[in-house]
Amino acid sequence: MLLCERVEEPRDRVAIKLYNNAVPDGADDPRERLRDIPADYAVSYAPPYFGTASGRWWEVHEYLEIGSVKDFARTQGGHLEPGQLVDLVRGLVDALDHLHHRSPRIIHRDIKPANILLRSSSPMRAVLADFGVAILTNSTMTMRTSSRTEAYASPESTSGEVRPAWDWWSLGMTLAELAVGRHPYQLEDGRFLQEARIESARATKPVPLDHIDDPRLLVLLQGLLTRDPDQRWDQTNVRLWLEGGSPVLGSEWTAPSSPARPDAAPVQFMGAEFNDPVELARAITQNWKRAGSLFAGRDLDRIVDWIDDVSPGRSIRGFVDTYRASRRGSGDRAIGNLNLLLAKIVTRLDPEGEPSFMGETVDLKSMSGWAARLGTRTSGQLKDVVEQLYQTGALHEYRRVAGHERLGEVHGQWEELSSQGEQYFTLVPRAGEMTPEIRALTLRLAIVRVLKESTA
């Protein structure tokens, strides 16, 4: 890519891109059909527009100073905020809808953060660029060869099938990367998995979305990253999601987690053998402190591998990777990080079990009574539970447990009330400090708020 300035009027800046794609003999340049795409959807091409040189295509388009959404994300620590992601989706859904319903239709085939340019960052207005591998077709078609970026390509791309669903998958991968600052198939050191491993993982198991904390965003990503293209979300589903609706998800996200293989070797934990991830989760819950000690060593790797083998849909590998990254330089937070890991593990392995944290039941009724219990002489352990549950944000994880979805709302209200309390004690030091007793009281108030809103 070259940045140039015209020597003639208007003396504006333009970008010149030379593609690696060779021009087929006798082929017309299909990008001539891209000139009239509205500027709200795609980068605008500038005279002399398109051409060939030494058997390769080149193009001239407007220069956008902010650059790509990938460039912009780097200025924010590698990721976008939730509101920015929604703005991005809102614009791109219209762009893809327009491209896919032109005649002939245009399928981009290479949507990724580097190929989405920004006209503005606040509000975020994005347009598509780099149509070098785009396919123009009136219907679903199959190609014997295809040029694509493997990490963002859809599962059906390996067969050469080209259809609009490909772009929706790529959009999902792009959003998953921008949400956390790392692609689902990217290692901690920045390297991507080998293409063969990506292709194998994509074909056999759901995309790992363990790092997505926002439940609404998780639903969007699951809809877009459905491996069956016939069940994958398109513009209709995404627009319904933007309006606050809940479109139906594909069966791979809604079907019960696959049971353990009966022929798999059992895993040992606490001196016992387990063949079922659910039973293992309940053993962890009943032996929380001991489980933490064991998981600080090699036992964790053994259990991670075993779960991947017997029940891939319950994989905890992403949780463990995040935990290990958080341990580096964590100091006093190490115990909290481990407790959060255990909370994630038990809710993943046993999504229908009773929610429990550090030996305490964390349903609405039980937590409502914590403030009263903290007034007794035997409340030392409970104080630790309250502080750990708040400081780690683990309560948010238990919204994944069937029948306890409102715990995510309670977590949000609890954070707001606790923050207000902490601000008060900062402004009025003589009033005291945020004690576990007051923290438990704010939790009770948070529960009251959520219950009141649910019955309003």
Which pLDDT belongs to residue 284?
92
436 touches 412 (CB < 8 A): no
Beta strands in 45-200 (DSSP E): 45-53, 56-62, 105-107, 116-121, 124-128, 135-137, 141-142, 161-162
Pairing between β-strand 105-107 and β-strand 161-162 as defined by DSSP bridges: unpaired
Give the three-state DSSP class for 38: coil
The set of residues, in sequence order, having a beta carbon less than 8 Å from that of 238 and lying 6+ positions away, is 89, 93, 168, 220, 223, 224
In the beta sheet, which residues pair with residue 106?
136
Whole-prediction pTM = 0.57
- Cα-Cα-Cα-Cα dihedral of 111, 114, 116, 118, to 10°? 170
Find how far residue 77's CA is from the centre of its chain.
Answer: 16
Which amino acid makes up residue 58?
A: W
253 touches 222 (CB < 8 A): yes
CATH no. for 69-251: 1.10.510.10
Split the chain (456 residues) into runs of 10 and give each run's mean pLDDT: 68 73 58 78 76 71 83 90 92 93 86 92 88 57 49 82 89 95 83 81 82 85 92 94 87 62 75 88 91 76 85 78 67 67 89 90 92 73 91 85 84 89 87 88 92 72
Domain chopping of the chain, boundaries: 2-62, 69-251, 256-353, 354-456
